[in-house]
C-alpha cells in the first residue's frame, strides 16, 4: 500500500553452511521493502531473489508467524527479536527501520545453541531441560474433577505469567553469560506455584537445574537483559523464586532429584 | 557430603556463594566505615589509633577478620570460575554490540570487582600489612590530663622491637603509647595519585554494590513485592552512595588538609 | 463407488461409546511393550496420543518437522476449548454440546462421533487442569467460562488469548515425561514423506531428516497421522508457514480416502492483506465480536472516500453505517457462526462497500464498548489483541475501528476415518484436524482444541488397542520389500524436485495456487468458477513440474526442497478440493454454492442428495479420483435449516 514509502536496506547476514563449517557475514541489498512487511517477509523477498539467481536462500527458523510458536529467532542490530519490546521477530515490522539503514542479522549465540545453518540454531537443549522435570506426573485419566482444586486467582494469574514462555531462547541470546535461567525458572515457577505442581516441586527444580548446567548455559548475573528482551515479558522474579526453591531443596528438603524420574509408568 | 558438593558445584550453588560472601563483605563495610569515621575526629589520631590497635588485638575480631579475608578470596576466586564458565557459554561473540536494556554496573561486575581486588591488595599491604608485620610504622604517646581532659601527643620510640601498646596513669595523667597508623594514613593521603586511586576505587565500590547488593538478594531468592523495593533502596542509598562517599571523603579531606600544612 | 462403513456402534446415543469401549479388545499389559507406535505430528492430537499411549506401555516414536514438539501450530489457537461441564449452571449438557456441534456443522457430521466428542470433553478439562494448565479462574478460585462463537451457553474454558499454547504445553509436558522415561523416542526436524503399506497394513513411514537429508524408514505396528489441516493450500491462511498436507496427502496416494476436502472454514475476524509480500494472515480472536460491532458504509461513495483515506471511519455518521450482521440477524447479531459472518463481509466487499486501501475489509468497531465499559475495561478484555492489531497495522484500534476480513482458518475435511479413527488402511489412523470426523461442514469456535485432545487422550488409547490385539505383537518385518520400495520412491521424488532448475520459484507457484483457490473455491463457489479453477490448477501444476526452481542439495538443510515437496502436494490437493466442491451441488456450512441458497441468501442444503461424506479414492497420477460415499444417518436429531435470525 505504502508503495511510495518503500525502503532500500543493506543486510549483513551471518551465513554458515552447517555446524561444522565456519561462517561469515555476507552483505545483501534488500530493495523496495514495504514498511508493512514483517521482518521475515522482508527476508522472504530477499530469498526469492536469491532463488531466482539459483543461489541458496538464507536459512532461518520460523513457523507460526504470529508470535506464539517461538520458532523464529534472529539477533537483529544487537537485540534478540529486533529493537522493539515484547514482540518476536515475526511480529517486527519494517516500519521500525528507516530507508538506507544497515541491519546486522546474527543467529543466537550460545554454546548450548549450536548453529545448524545460517541463522537457525539448535535449541533442543531447552527440550531436554523440560524433559528432565518440566511436568506434573499424572497419567491420562483418573484425575479429579477440574473444580476440585480451587486456586486463588492471584496465584493462577502469576503462574500464568510464567507459563506464557514460548521457548524461543531470546533470554539466552540477550544474556551476556548465555544463561537459560529465565527460561528454566519460568517453568519451575509456573508449576511450583500451582497446587498441582507441589508434590514434585523440590525434585523438579533440582532435575531441571542439573540439566540446565549439563547443557552448558552460563550463570545468572541478574543483569535483567533477559527480562528486557523477552517477547512475552517474563519477569526475573521467576529466577529468584527458582533459586529459593533450589536452595530449599538442596539444603533443607528430603527430596532427591532422582525421585522425579522414578515416578510414572 | 557429595550432595553438598554437587550443590555448590552447580551454577546456582556458585552464585549462592557469591551472594553470601558478597553480603558479608557489605556488612563489613558498615563496620569499617564506622571505625574509620574516627579519622575525622580532631584528636591527633588518638581514637583512630586506639581503634586500630583494638581491631588487631581483640581475638574475636581477629577471627572475624580472617573470615573476612577468606570471603574476599572466595568471592574473587568464584567470580573468576564463573566468568570463565560464562565465557565458555558463548564461544562466538556477537558482531553487533548487545543493546539489551541492562544497567552498566550489572554488565561490568567483573571489571569493577577487579579494580576492587587491586585496591584491596594495595590498601591492605599499605596499612594492614605494614601495621601488623612491619616496623615501618612509628608510635605515638598520648598524655591526657585527667583533670582537664586535655590531650597532648608526641612521637614515641619504644625501647624494645616487640613493643605493641602500653597504658598507664601517673600523677593524674594518663599515658597511652600506641602505633601511629594515623600518621601513616595522613602521609599516604597527602599523595595526590594515591588519593585519586582511592576515589576511583570507591567509585567502583559504589557501582559494584549498586548492582551487587540487590543482586545478592535476588540470587538468594529473597524477592518480595513489599520488601524488594526496600532492599533496592538500601542498596542504592546506603551501599552505593553513603558508604563510598564516606570512604572517599577521607583521602580527599586529608589531602586538602595536607595542602594547608 | 462403494459405501463406507463407519463402524458406529448401534444403540442409544449416550451408550454408544461406553458399549463400544467394552467391546474393544484389550492388549495384555505385558505385551504392550512389544508394540511400536508411530505418531506423526506433535500438536494437541499427536502429543496427547503419544503421551497417553506411552503411559499405557507402548513404545512410541514421535515425529515433528519443527525443532521442538512444542512448536506445533495448535499453539496458536487463541480463544478456548469447549466442554460440557455446565459449571455455570446455564443449561449446558453433553447433549446440548452434541446438538450445537451437529447443527453448527450443518448436519454433515456423524451423530455417534460428535456425541462421543461432547462426552469426553469434560475429561479433557480435568486432565489439563491436573497437568497444571493455567486456565482462567474466578476470584473464588474456580474455573471461569465464557460464551464463545455464537454459543448460547458459557462452556468455553480459556487461558487469556493463548489457550492453544497452554493446552499444547500441557500435552508437551506429558510427552516430555514419557521421553524422559524412555517410552517415547522423539524425532524432531524430521518430515514424514511417505507411509509404508505392507500387505495391506500400515507398517511404517519414510522420513527425511531436515538437517542432513537422510532418508530413513521407521517401523511400527500402527501409524497415527496427527499432522493438522491443509489450509495453506490457499497460500494465505492463519496456519503456520510450515503447516502442510504432505503426510496426509502421501497417505492418500497410498490408498487412504480423503473426505470432504472442500469443507474449509473461513474465519471472519482476521487482519486484512496489505500486499503481495504477505506470507500469512493473522487471526484475531472471535471473542472480539462479543463487544465489537461489525459494519460497512451504507453507500459506495462513502466507502470510496474511506478507501482513498479522504475521511476516517469515525467521521462516518451513524446513519451512514450499515451494521449488517445486527440488521440481518437480530437475535444473534454480531455473534453469528463464522461462515455466516465471513460470507456477509464478502458480500459487502462484492457490493463495493469494502474499506481499507484495498477495499477488502469491513470495520469491527469498539467505540460503543469503550463508551459503555470504559477504555480500561475494554483493554483488560482485549488489550493483547488490540496491541497485536496495532503492531501489525500501525493503527490504534482504540481510536479507529479495526479493519477485518475473513481468512482461511481451519479445514474440516481430511483423511476419512471410522469411529475408531482408523482410515480405510488397517493400521493407519488419523487424529485431530488431520481427519474429517467431527465438525461436519463447519466447525464451531473452541471445538478444534477439544477434538484434538479428545482424539489423543481419550479415543485412540482405547480404539488402537483393539487393532493391535487383532494383529498380535509379532515384530514388524523391516525387511519387507515395501520399505525399500517406498524409500526409493521418496528418493526419486526428491531427485526429481532437485533437478528442477526453471524460472519460477516454488513460492510463486504456491501464491498463484492460493489466488485460484481463494477466488474460486473460497467463501462462495459456483459451477462455472470451479470448472475454471480445475483447468487453471491443472495448468499450474503442469507448469510447476516444468518451470519451478529448486536450489541446493538433499544432504543439507534445504528449505527450498522442503517447500517444493509441500507445494507439489498442495497442487494436487487443490484440484481434489475443486472436484469435491463441484460434486457437492448444495451449500452447507463452510461450503457455499451460490446456486444453492435460500431466498434470504443462506446456505441451502440438499439433504436428500448430499447427506453423505464424500471420501475420495486416489487412482494414480492424473487419473480422476473415485468418490466413495458414507451415508450419514440421523437417528436422533431432526435436520433443520440453520437459522440465526
Question: Are A183 and C169 in contact, with CB atoms under 8 Å apart?
Answer: no
Residue A1 has pLDDT above 70, yes or no: no
C36, containing H or E segment? strand C36-40
Compare all CA atoms of chain B with the CA of A74 and give the residue at the minimum distance. B94
pLDDT per residue as tens digits for the range C598-640: 887 888 999 999 999 999 999 999 899 999 999 999 999 999 8
Domain ranges of chain B: 2-90+110-135+181-255, 138-179
Do the chains contact at A127 and C552, CB–CB below 8 Å? Answer: no
Do the chains contact at A91 and C391, CB–CB below 8 Å? Answer: yes
Domain ranges of chain C: 267-409, 500-610
Out of B154-163, B194-203, C75-84, least confident range: B154-163
C-alpha cell at A61: 527458523
Question: Are A220 and B15 in contact, with CB atoms under 8 Å apart?
Answer: yes
Chains touching A (at least 3 CB pairs under 8 A) are B, C
pLDDT band for position A2 (50/70/90)? very low
Report chain A residues whose CB lies below 8 A from the CB of B93.
Answer: 109
Residue A3 has pLDDT above 70, yes or no: no
Q: How does DSSP assign chain A, residue by residue?
A: --GGG-EEEEEEEEE-SSSSS--EEEEEEEEEE-TTSBHHHHHHHHHHHHHHTTPPPPP----SSSS-S-----EETTEET-SSTT--GGG-BGGGS-TT-EEEEE----TTS-EEETTEE--HHHHHHHHHH-S----SS-PPPGGGS---HHHHHHHHHHHT-----HHHHHSTT-B-HHHHHHHHHHHHHSGGGGGGHHHHHHHHHHHHHHTT-B------HHHHH-TT---THHHHHHHHHHHHHHHT-S--THHHHH---
Q: What pLDDT is recorded for position C1?
A: 54
pLDDT per residue as tens digits for the range A166-216: 999 999 999 999 999 999 999 999 999 999 999 999 999 999 999 999 999
Asked if chain A contacts chain C via 3 or more Cβ pairs within 8 Å, the reply is yes
pLDDT per residue as tens digits for the range A33-79: 999 999 999 999 999 999 999 999 999 999 999 999 999 999 999 99
Count the neighbouring beta carbons within 10 Å of the beta carbon of residue C332.
18
pLDDT band for position B148 (50/70/90)? confident
Bridge partner list, A24 = A15
Question: Are C434 and C414 in contact, with CB atoms under 8 Å apart?
Answer: yes
Residue in B7, B82, B109 closest to A250 by CB: B7
Question: Are C344 and C323 in contact, with CB atoms under 8 Å apart?
Answer: no
Q: Using CB atoms and an 8 Å cut-off, which of residues 350-409 of chain C contact chain A?
A: 357-358, 388, 391-392, 394
Q: What pLDDT is recorded for position A262?
A: 42
Point out the residues of C that are catalytic.
338
Do the chains contact at C134 and A147, CB–CB below 8 Å? Answer: no
Report chain B residues whose CB lies below 8 A from the CB of A246.
Answer: 12, 221
Instruction: Sketch out chain A's domains with CATH numbers.
Output: 3-117 (3.10.20.30), 124-262 (1.10.1060.10)
Report chain C residues whose CB lies below 8 A from the CB of A42.
Answer: 277
Report chain B residues whose CB lies below 8 A from the CB of A247.
Answer: 12, 16, 220-221
pLDDT per residue as tens digits for the range B5-43: 889 999 999 999 999 999 999 999 999 999 999 999 888
Q: What pLDDT is recorded for position A258?
A: 60
State phi, psi for C623 to the nearest 5 degrees. -100, 145
Do the chains contact at C131 and A164, CB–CB below 8 Å? Answer: no
pLDDT per residue as tens digits for the range A82-130: 999 999 999 999 999 999 999 999 999 999 999 999 999 999 999 999 9
Choose from A222, A227, A242, A248 for mutation: most chain B CBs within 10 A.
A222
The b/e string for C420-456 (b: 16+ C-beta within 10 A; e otherwise) is: bbbbbbbbbbbbbbbbbbbbbbbbbbbbbbbbbbbbb
Q: Using CB atoms and an 8 Å cut-off, which of residues 167-196 of chain A contact chain C?
A: 167, 190-191, 194, 196
Chains touching C (at least 3 CB pairs under 8 A) are A
pLDDT band for position A263 (50/70/90)? very low
Q: Measure B172 CA to nearest chain A CA, in Å.
A: 60
C-alpha cell at B241: 552512595
Do the chains contact at A111 and B91, CB–CB below 8 Å? Answer: yes
The b/e string for A239-251 (b: 16+ C-beta within 10 A; e otherwise) is: bbbbbbbbbebbe
Do the chains contact at B10 and A213, CB–CB below 8 Å? Answer: yes
* Chain A contact for C475 (CB, 8 A cutoff): no
Going from the C-alpha of C386 to that of each of C286, C288, C366, C379, C394, the distances in angstroms are 13, 10, 10, 8, 11
Topology of domain C500-610, CATH: Methane Monooxygenase Hydroxylase; Chain G, domain 1 (1.20.58)
Q: What pLDDT is recorded for position B56?
A: 87
Predicted ipTM of the assembly: 0.96
Do the chains contact at B220 and A239, CB–CB below 8 Å? Answer: no
Asked if chain B contacts chain C via 3 or more Cβ pairs within 8 Å, the reply is no
User: Which strand ranges, in their side-by-side order, compose the sheet holding C428-430?
Assistant: C184-187, C59-63, C36-40, C222-225, C428-430
State which residues of chain C have pLDDT below 50: none
Topology of domain C267-409, CATH: Flavocytochrome C3; Chain A, domain 1 (3.90.700)
Amino acid at each position: 500500500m505504502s508503495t511510495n514509502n518503500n525502503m532500500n536496506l543493506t543486510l549483513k547476514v551471518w551465513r554458515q553452511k552447517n555446524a561444522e563449517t565456519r561462517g561469515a557475514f555476507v552483505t545483501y541489498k534488500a530493495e523496495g521493502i514495504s514498511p508493512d512487511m514483517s521482518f521475515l517477509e522482508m527476508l522472504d523477498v530477499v530469498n526469492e531473489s536469491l532463488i531466482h539467481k539459483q543461489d541458496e536462500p538464507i536459512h532461518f527458523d520460523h513457523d507460526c508467524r504470529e508470535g506464539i510458536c517461538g520458532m523464529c529467532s534472529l539477533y537483529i542490530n544487537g537485540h534478540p527479536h529486533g529493537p522493539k519490546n515484547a514482540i518476536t521477530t515475526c511480529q517486527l515490522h519494517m516500519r521500525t527501520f528507516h530507508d538506507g539503514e544497515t541491519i546486522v542479522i546474527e543467529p543466537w549465540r550460545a554454546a548450548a545453541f549450536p548453529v545448524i545453518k545460517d541463522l537457525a540454531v539448535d535449541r533442543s537443549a531447552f527440550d531436554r531441560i523440560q524433559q528432565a522435570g518440566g511436568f506434573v506426573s499424572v497419567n491420562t485419566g483418573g484425575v479429579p474433577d477440574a473444580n476440585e482444586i480451587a486456586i486463588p486467582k492471584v496465584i493462577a494469574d502469576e503462574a500464568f505469567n510464567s507459563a506464557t514462555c514460548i521457548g524461543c531462547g531470546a533470554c539466552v541470546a540477550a544474556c551476556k553469560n548465555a544463561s537459560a535461567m529465565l527460561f528454566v525458572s519460568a517453568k519451575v515457577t509456573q508449576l511450583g506455584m500451582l497446587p498441582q505442581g507441589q508434590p514434585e516441586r523440590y525434585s523438579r527444580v533440582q532435575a531441571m537445574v542439573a540439566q540446565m548446567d549439563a547443557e552448558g548455559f552460563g550463570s545468572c548475573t541478574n543483569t535483567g537483559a533477559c527480562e528486557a528482551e523477552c517477547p512475552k515479558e517474563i519477569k526475573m522474579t521467576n529466577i529468584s523464586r527458582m533459586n529459593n526453591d533450589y536452595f530449599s531443596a538442596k539444603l533443607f528438603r528430603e527430596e532427591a532429584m532422582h525421585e522425579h524420574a522414578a515416578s510414572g509408568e | 557430603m557429595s550432595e553438598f558438593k554437587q550443590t555448590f558445584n552447580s551454577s546456582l550453588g556458585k552464585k549462592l556463594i557469591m551472594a553470601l560472601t558478597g553480603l558479608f563483605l557489605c556488612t563489613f563495610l558498615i563496620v569499617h566505615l564506622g571505625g574509620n569515621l574516627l579519622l575525622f575526629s580532631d584528636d591527633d589520631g588518638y581514637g583512630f589509633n586506639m581503634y586500630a590497635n583494638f581491631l588487631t588485638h581483640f581475638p574475636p575480631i581477629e577471627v572475624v577478620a580472617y573470615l573476612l579475608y577468606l570471603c574476599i578470596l572466595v568471592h574473587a576466586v568464584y567470580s573468576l570460575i564463573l566468568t570463565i564458565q560464562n565465557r565458555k557459554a558463548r564461544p562466538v561473540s556477537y558482531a553487533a554490540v548487545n543493546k539489551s536494556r541492562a544497567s552498566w554496573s550489572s554488565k561490568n561486575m567483573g571489571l569493577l570487582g577487579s579494580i576492587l581486588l587491586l585496591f584491596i591488595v594495595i590498601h591492605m599491604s599499605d596499612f594492614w600489612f605494614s601495621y601488623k608485620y612491619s616496623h615501618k610504622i612509628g608510635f605515638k604517646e598520648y598524655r591526657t590530663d585527667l583533670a582537664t581532659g586535655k590531650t597532648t601527643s608526641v612521637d614515641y620510640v619504644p625501647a624494645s622491637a616487640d613493643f605493641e601498646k602500653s597504658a598507664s596513669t601517673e600523677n593524674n595523667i594518663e599515658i597511652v603509647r600506641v602505633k601511629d597508623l594515623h600518621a601513616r594514613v595522613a602521609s599516604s593521603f597527602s599523595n595526590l595519585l594515591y588519593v585519586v586511586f582511592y576515589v576511583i576505587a570507591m567509585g567502583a565500590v559504589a557501582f559494584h554494590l549498586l548492582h551487587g547488593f540487590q543482586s545478592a538478594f535476588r540470587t538468594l531468592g529473597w524477592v518480595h513485592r513489599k520488601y524488594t523495593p526496600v532492599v533496592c533502596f538500601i542498596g542504592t542509598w546506603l551501599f552505593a552512595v553513603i558508604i563510598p562517599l564516606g570512604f572517599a571523603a577521607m583521602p580527599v579531606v586529608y589531602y586538602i588538609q595536607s595542602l594547608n600544612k | 463407488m462403494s459405501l463406507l462403513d463407519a463402524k458406529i456402534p448401534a444403540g442409544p446415543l449416550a451408550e454408544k461409546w461406553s458399549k463400544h469401549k467394552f467391546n474393544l479388545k484389550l492388549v495384555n499389559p505385558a505385551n504392550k511393550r512389544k508394540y511400536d507406535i508411530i505418531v506423526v505430528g506433535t500438536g494437541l492430537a499427536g502429543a496427547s496420543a503419544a503421551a497417553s499411549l506411552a503411559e499405557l506401555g507402548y513404545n512410541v516414536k514421535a515425529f515433528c518437522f519443527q525443532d521442538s514438539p512444542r512448536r506445533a501450530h495448535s499453539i496458536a489457537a487463541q480463544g478456548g476449548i469447549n466442554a460440557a461441564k455446565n459449571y455455570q449452571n446455564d443449561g449446558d449438557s453433553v447433549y446440548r454440546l452434541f446438538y450445537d456441534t451437529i447443527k453448527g456443522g450443518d448436519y454433515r457430521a456423524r451423530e455417534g462421533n460428535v456425541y462421543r466428542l461432547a462426552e469426553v470433553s469434560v475429561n479433557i478439562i480435568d486432565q489439563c487442569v491436573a497437568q497444571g494448565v493455567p486456565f482462567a479462574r474466578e476470584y473464588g478460585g474456580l474455573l471461569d467460562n465464557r460464551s464463545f462463537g455464537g454459543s448460547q451457553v458459557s462452556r468455553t474454558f480459556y487461558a487469556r488469548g493463548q489457550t492453544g499454547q497452554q493446552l499444547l504445553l500441557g500435552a508437551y509436558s506429558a510427552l516430555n515425561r514419557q521421553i524422559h522415561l524412555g517410552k517415547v523416542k522423539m524425532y524432531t526436524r524430521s518430515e514424514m514423506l511417505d507411509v509404508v503399506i505392507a500387505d495391506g497394513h500400515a507398517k511404517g513411514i519414510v522420513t527425511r531428516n531436515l538437517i542432513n537429508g537422510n532418508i530413513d524408514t521407521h517401523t511400527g505396528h500402527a501409524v497415527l497421522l496427527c499432522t493438522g489441516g491443509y489450509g495453506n493450500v490457499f497460500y494465505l491462511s492463519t496456519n503456520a508457514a510450515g503447516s502442510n498436507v504432505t503426510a496426509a496427502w502421501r497417505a492418500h496416494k497410498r490408498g487412504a480416502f480423503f473426505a470432504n476436502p472442500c469443507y474449509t472454514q473461513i474465519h471472519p475476524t482476521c487482519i486484512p492483506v496489505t500486499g503481495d509480500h504477505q506470507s500469512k494472515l493473522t487471526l484475531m480472536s472471535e471473542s472480539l465480536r462479543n463487544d465489537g460491532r461489525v459494519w460497512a458504509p451504507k453507500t459506495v461513495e462513502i466507502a470510496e472516500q474511506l478507501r482513498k483515506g479522504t475521511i476516517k471511519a469515525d467521521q462516518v455518521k451513524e446513519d451512514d453505517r450499515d451494521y449488517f450482521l445486527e440488521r440481518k440477524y437480530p437475535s444473534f447479531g454480531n455473534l453469528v457462526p463464522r461462515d455466516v459472518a465471513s460470507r456477509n463481509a464478502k458480500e459487502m466487499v462484492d457490493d463495493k462497500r469494502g474499506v481499507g486501501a484495498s477495499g477488502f475489509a469491513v470495520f469491527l468497531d469498539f467505540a460503543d464498548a469503550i463508551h459503555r465499559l470504559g477504555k480500561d475495561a475494554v483493554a483488560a478484555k482485549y488489550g493483547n489483541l488490540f496491541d497485536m492489531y496495532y503492531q501489525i497495522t500501525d493503527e490504534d484500534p482504540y481510536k479507529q475501528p479495526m479493519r477485518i476480513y475473513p481468512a482461511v482458518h481451519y479445514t474440516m475435511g481430511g483423511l476419512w476415518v471410522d469411529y475408531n479413527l482408523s482410515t480405510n488402511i488397517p493400521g493407519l489412523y488419523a487424529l485431530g484436524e488431520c481427519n474429517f470426523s467431527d465438525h461436519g461442514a463447519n466447525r464451531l469456535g473452541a471445538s478444534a482444541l477439544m477434538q484434538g485432545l479428545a482424539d489423543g487422550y481419550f479415543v485412540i488409547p482405547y480404539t488402537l488397542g483393539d487393532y493391535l490385539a487383532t494383529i498380535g505383537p509379532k515384530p514388524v518385518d523391516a525387511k519387507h520389500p515395501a520399505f525399500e520400495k517406498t524409500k526409493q520412491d521418496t528418493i526419486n521424488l526428491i531427485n526429481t524436485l532437485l533437478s528442477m532448475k526453471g524460472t519460477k520459484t516454488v513460492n510463486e507457484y504456491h501464491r498463484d495456487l492460493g489466488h485460484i483457490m481463494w477466488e474460486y473455491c473460497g467463501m462462495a463457489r459456483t459451477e462455472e468458477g470451479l470448472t475454471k479453477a480445475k483447468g487453471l490448477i491443472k495448468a499450474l501444476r503442469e507448469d510447476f513440474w516444468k518451470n519451478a526452481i529448486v536450489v541446493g542439495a538433499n544432504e543439507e538443510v534445504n528449505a527450498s526442497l522442503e517447500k517444493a515437496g509441500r507445494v507439489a502436494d498442495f497442487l494436487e490437493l487443490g484440484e481434489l478440493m475443486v472436484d469435491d466442491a463441484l460434486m457437492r451441488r448444495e451449500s452447507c456450512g463452510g461450503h457455499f454454492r451460490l446456486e444453492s441458497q435460500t431466498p434470504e441468501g443462506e446456505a441451502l442444503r440438499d439433504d436428500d442428495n448430499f447427506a453423505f461424506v464424500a471420501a475420495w479414492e486416489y487412482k494414480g497420477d492424473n487419473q480422476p479420483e473415485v468418490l466413495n460415499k458414507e451415508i450419514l444417518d440421523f437417528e436422533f436429531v431432526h435436520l433443520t435449516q440453520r437459522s440465526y435470525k
